[in-house]
Amino acid sequence: MISNLGIMQGRLSKPLNGKIQSFPKYSWKKEFNLAKKLSFKFLEWTLDYEDLDKNPLMMQEIHPKIKALSKKYNIKIKSITGDCFMQKPFWKTSNSRLKLKLLKDLKNIIINASNLKIKFLIIPLVDAGSIKNREQEKTLVFELSKFKKILKKNKLQILFETDLNPKKNSKFMKKFNSNHFGINYDTGNSASLNFDPIQEFKEYGKYIKNIHLKDRKKFGKTVPFGQGNANFKLIFNLCKKINFKGNMILQGARKSIGKEEMTIRQYLKFISRNSI
C-alpha cells in the first residue's frame, strides 16, 4: 500500500442521481469508517456548486463532527476537489454580480478549509472549466492574484488541474507564486489527452502537490484501472525520481453499483502491483 494514498469522497458510496462524482450527502459520515477499513490515509473532500452552502465543509457548526470523525478513524482531509468551480467558473462569466458571488464563495471555502486544516484546494481547468482564450486566462490570473494574502494566512494552496500540454502548463504556472499555487496531476486525463508523462514531469513536476489516480482511454472516457492508456508503472517511477511527497487520491471509474467496496479492493491490488 502506498503510504500517502487517499480516496475521493463519494467513491465509497452509491452514486447520486447517476453522477460519477458528487458529494455523498447521505453517506459522508459512513465513508470515514469505510476508508479506515480499506487502509486509506485520506479522504479528498468534494464540493459541488449545487447546495454548496449546505455542504458540511461550509457549515462551521458541523466542523466539530468532521474533526471527531477524522480523529476517530484516523482519516485526514488534506485536499478538496472544487468541482463547484468547474460547474460555475468565475473566469468565464460576463455577469459581474455572479463573478463577485463566485469569488466570495472561493474566499469562504478557503476560510472553512483552513478551520479543518486542509492544505490543498483543487480548481479544475478542464471540461466546463477549461481555459479557451487569453481573456479567460487573464481573468483567472488577475482574480487569483488577489488571494495571495488570504492563502498565506490560511496556510492553503490552490492546485490547478488543467488540460494544457506540458509546455503550456509550465508556462501557465510561471504566472503564479509557487508558494501559494501548484498542480494536481490527473493520470487519467493526461492519458486521455495523449500526453507523455516523462515530458509532463520534466516540464512541471516541481509544481505537482497532489495526484488523482484513474485510468482513461486515449481520447476517451474514464475506464476501470488497467483498461485504459495510463502508464502507472512509469508514473510511479517518475514520482520516485522527483521524491514526490504529496498525496495520491484514488479516483477510479465506477463499476458495479452497490459493490463499491469490492471495486475499490480490486483497484488497490492493481495500484499495489504497479507501484512496486
More confident residue, 2 or 90: 90
- Whether the pLDDT of residue 2 is over 90: the answer is no
Task: Name the grid cell of 154.
Answer: 490560511
3-class SS of residue 5: strand
Determine the pLDDT at residue 272: 94
Work out how many domains the chain is built from and give that number.
1
Using an 8 Å Cβ cutoff, are 21 and 8 in contact?
yes
Q: What is the pLDDT of residues 180-191, one digit of tens each?
A: 999 999 999 999
Q: What is the rounded CA–CA span in Å between residue 236 and residue 274?
A: 8
Question: Which residue segment(s) compose the domain that 255 sits in?
Answer: 5-274
Q: What is the pLDDT of residues 123-136, one digit of tens each?
A: 999 999 999 999 99
Determine the pLDDT at residue 48: 97
CATH number at residue 174: 3.20.20.150
Work out the number of other CB atoms within 10 angstroms of the CB of residue 17: 6
Q: What is the pLDDT of residues 206-241, one digit of tens each?
A: 999 999 999 999 999 999 999 999 999 999 999 999
Give residue 225's Cα distance to chain centre: 18
1 pLDDT band, cuts 50/70/90, is low
